[in-house]
Amino acid sequence: MLKIGQDILNREEILKLYEKGYTSPIDYKIGMEFERIPISRSSFKTVDYWGKGGVCELLETFAKKFNWDYIVDQNNTIGLVKGHDTITLEPGSQIEYSLKPERTIFQLKEKIEKLDYDLKSLADSDMILLSYGISPYSTFKNIHLIPKRRYKIMAGYLWGILSDVMMRETAGIQCCIDFKSEEDAMRKYKLANKLSPFMTAMFANSPIRGGVDTGYKTFRALSWINTDADRCGFYGKISEEFSFNDYIDCVMKTPMIFIHRNGIPINIDGNITFEEFMQNGYDDIFPTIDDYELQANLCFPEVRMRNFIEIRNHDCVGGDLKYAIMAIYKGIFYDNNAMSECEELFKHLQYKDISELRYNVPKLGLNTKIKNTEIKEYAKDILKIASKSLKESQTGEEMFLNSIEELTYKGLCPADILLKKWNSMRNKDLKKIVKYLEESDQL
């Protein structure tokens, strides 16, 4: 019920959430979110949240030793926080680092390596934090949800034949970039959406699931295509006229899953959109700005607008490949000439071409064709543009492109290497694949 003196949420208040992200180019930083799958070295199964040697025990041991604060839900540890950095759990116990944005990729790498060393030093000797896009052996039917009320509600609501796969099995990498104005934000937002299927193909790394070759280069990307089309995929038609208000419209017209009141989730189960909530309330409850932020965070497009731009469409990869994702985006989005070159590269592609590409990439990777051209040729041009920009910036960060250049210039993605090894083995030995993934993560 609307309380006396409580303001009704208005559009201007929502718009300020995005406008407060305006950042001077001299202060641009890059942020990274990095998920991995905890698996058993002996059984290859996803390690459970509960029990001795489980993920909860690992987080709590880490917190005590390194003085991190707990994030809890009904007294269950669901993550840790220290300053602006968090270590949180995805629905199927995937472990995610969300790091405070930094000016250089070198700084992000240093922080990740330190966290990795500390976390792995405390992990059970049978646990591997696998840098891979999907659980290689356990499937969602055998992976318990962590005890987080939000995830239970989402699991019951999200429609789509692979939504459970997405929630419980997959791991990805996200990149966060800054913008200086609404015009700059929209330019980057549209370009990021056009780049997304090419980047998905370049870093495809989830072909083996449930102990078998799925026939897809990235089964993770396939699972997202088959998860709740109301809130996934592309938001908006990325037209020339697209604006913050257009993005807000997309969020407003998406069915609501739940809201919070007094720390308790109230299940709405898609009965109304946020637009209807704004107009009429729900069961005598009226929206606040926190409700809008929750609604926006329960939308999962390939590229998500916040007070920064969050690019979400990459499989988890190991070694320096994960930093190559950051390097490509930094090279392109923080250089006006590089953005112009990318826009020129894609100028003949329409929205329907990019959308169709998104559906074909999971199976074919860099061998996908668009207008009779395999997208590996576009990928090479993307790398050349990013490399030129990074070299001109004189930060030395072009070195992070070496690992992906080595693959892309051969027309390969990480999944191709993995499948070659898989198909060369007579008995399709998952142990050897896991060992390869673990060793390649050190490179």
pLDDT value at residue 1: 46
- Band the pLDDT of 272: cuts 50, 70, 90: very high
Lowest mean pLDDT among 265-279, 390-404, 427-441: 427-441
Say yes or no to pLDDT of 356 above 60.
yes
User: Which among 96, 113, 109 has a CA at the least distance from the CA of 36?
Assistant: 96
Q: How many residues does the chain have?
A: 443
Average pLDDT, the chain: 95
Say yes or no to pLDDT of 113 above 70.
yes
- Band the pLDDT of 239: cuts 50, 70, 90: low
Tokens for 322? 């994960």
Place of tokens 């017209």: 253
Q: Which fold is adopted by the domain 26-240+301-440?
A: Creatine Kinase; Chain A, domain 2 (3.30.590)
- Band the pLDDT of 237: cuts 50, 70, 90: low
pLDDT exceeding 90 applies to what percent of the chain?
93
pLDDT value at residue 50: 97
Does residue 400 or residue 372 have the better pLDDT? 400
pLDDT value at residue 5: 39
**Could you read off the pLDDT of 337-352 as tens digits, one per residue?**
999 999 999 999 988 9
Place of tokens 């109230």: 266
pLDDT value at residue 32: 97
- Band the pLDDT of 441: cuts 50, 70, 90: confident
pTM of this prediction? Answer: 0.96
Give the domain ranges of the chain: 26-240+301-440
**Could you read off the pLDDT of 164-217 as tens digits, one per residue?**
999 999 999 999 999 999 999 999 999 999 999 999 999 999 999 999 999 999
β 232-233/258-261 pair status:
unpaired
Say yes or no to pLDDT of 2 above 90.
no
